[in-house]
Amino acid sequence: MRSVVCDTAPLVSLQESELLEILPLAGEVCIPPAVEAELRSLDPLPEWLQITALDTPFAQEARAWAQAGILGPGEAEAIALVRQMAADWLLTDDASARLVAQREGIEVHGSLGLVLWAAADGHFDLLSAQAALDALSRSSLWISARVLEEARAVLPVLCSKAQGIAQE
């Protein structure tokens, strides 16, 4: 099973979009303590969300990133947790976190990428996927018009491929 570490922003935007239920479809979802502390809008936390403490060297690494002003506490701990767990994915909507994670060799996805993944994996039909993109675009997540247009353009291909795979 895939392991996914998530920072705060995707959890908030997916909840605002009423799409939070797609996240556990991606795998086992873990968050570090700093993200738990930031999640005031998800009270109570979903049962499938696992809070995982950082071991000392990884906690020190996260503190160093945060103290240097490179990342916020949630993003820093999320990246450190990915490294600690050797997780498969980091889910973040933060550009700085994405850059640091990619430099660390971590596979990074955002909320929009998760919706596209869910469509490609057959969790959405085309109409549901389009509705999910519309809902996400109305959340606190900023998505440029160009990126949203590109995402809408690939949905028919993703959904048809997923449907073709399901029929085989």
pLDDT over 70 (residue 71): yes
Count the domains in the chain: 2
Please report, for the domain that includes residue 31, its CATH number. 3.40.50.1010
pLDDT band for position 163 (cuts 50, 70, 90): low
Q: Are residues 91 and 158 in the same domain?
A: no
Read off the pTM: 0.92
In this predicted structure, the answer to whether residue 90 has a pLDDT above a threshold of 90 is yes
- Kindly state whether residues 45 and 81 are assigned to the same domain: yes
Distance CA 43, CA 124 (A): 27
Task: Read off the pLDDT band of 118 (50, 70, 90).
Answer: very high
Q: How far apart are CA 72 and CA 114, in angstroms?
A: 22
* Residues 49 and 125 occupy one common structural domain: no
Last residue of a domain, one of 63, 87, 111: 111
How much is the average pLDDT of 128-139?
Answer: 96
Q: Can you give the residue range of the structural domain that contains 148?
A: 112-167
Q: What is the DSSP string of 78-127?
A: HHHHHHHHT-SEEE---HHHHHHHHHTT--EE-HHHHHHHHHHTTSS-HH
Which pLDDT belongs to residue 168? Answer: 46
Q: What's the token pair of residue 83? A: 């490294």
Question: Pairing relation of β-strands 108-109 and 3-6?
Answer: unpaired
Same domain (yes/no): 122, 145: yes
* Distance between first and last Cα of the chain: 23
Asked if 27 and 91 sit in the same domain, the reply is yes
